[in-house]
Amino acid sequence: MSLIEVTILNYLKNNLDVDCYVEKPSPFPNGEFVVLERTGQTRTNLLKVTTIAFQSYADTKYKSALLNEQVKEAMDKAYYINTHQLSSVKFVRDYDFTDTTTKKYRYQCIYEIYHLD
């Protein structure tokens, strides 16, 4: 796990009222929670661009969509984080991503995090 993932995880833990993880917890909890997953990283000159998927789980599709909106609201303000020389945070897309293996409702939003460290 990279430093930027730890930074974003801690940021979300402090800004959301649900548990946040970097992998699916086992046993799988009931209720609402968020799993963040780094899906890739590129570099332009010295600036790193880390892509993170945020998966919002809930007991209903509606609650999952609402939690997804809360994640986006928090991430849209994440550029205030002072660590890792964060440059910017860019929303890419979001969509219904219901987990067919666990039969849990899930929405996913994708962000690109621009940073030096």
Query: By C-alpha distance, which of 106, 1, 21 is closest to 64?
Result: 106
Average pLDDT over residues 14-40: 93
Class of domain 3-115: alpha beta
Structure tokens at 105: 């409702």
Confidence (pTM):
0.92
Q: How far is CA 5 from CA 8, 11, 13, 27, 43, in A?
A: 5, 10, 12, 22, 16
Average pLDDT over residues 33-46: 93
Band (pLDDT 50/70/90 cuts) for residue 84 is: low
Q: How far is CA 110 from the centre of its chain?
A: 7
